[in-house]
Amino acid sequence: MLIDLTVNGKRHVLLDVDPQERLVDLLRLRLKLTGAKEGCGEGECGACTVIMDGEAVNSCMVLAYQARNTEILTIEGLAQNGELDTVQQAFVEVGAVQCGYCTPGMVMSAKALLLKNSNPSETEIKEALAGNLCRCTGYVNILKAVRTAADALNGGQVK
């Protein structure tokens, strides 16, 4: 099967894609974009979260053919010209990272939220991150990082 999609602003035409191949495998194995991690393989942990046409999706639950003619944004596509994205910078600044396994998925879920709503409430932040599990941080600094990024997008400084 032929798959045509855009990942991080670059168009890819991939040949011989198995109909059962998942998006996470296409990204990791074919395109060598390893930021999306396979955690559970069941859409429960969020470690494989990417943004597909503006929506956060678990790439382990999306078959590659379902991503035909879509725009995919991965953690590798956030930083531009050597500068971290606002969300990435906020995660660093507030110490929202421990082991780091869940971080790309958390960042992508937060980014998807902030693309739609640059000033979310705490409840909206929690809802946006509800599909992402972290075993290390206790979530306090993750929530703080999303609020910090939102504040920066609204004219404040990332602290």
Backbone dihedral angles phi then psi of residue 33, each to the nearest 5 degrees = -100, 100
The answer to whether residue 159 scores a pLDDT higher than 50 is: no
Check if the beta carbon of residue 71 is closer than 8 Å to that of residue 53. Answer: yes
**Domains contained in the chain, CATH given:** 3-77 (3.10.20.30), 86-153 (1.10.150.120)
Instruction: Render pLDDT for 66-108 as a digit per residue (tens, 0 to 9).
Output: 999 999 999 999 999 999 999 999 999 999 998 989 999 999 9
Instruction: Render pLDDT for 105-118 as a digit per residue (tens, 0 to 9).
Output: 999 999 999 999 99
pTM for the model stands at 0.94
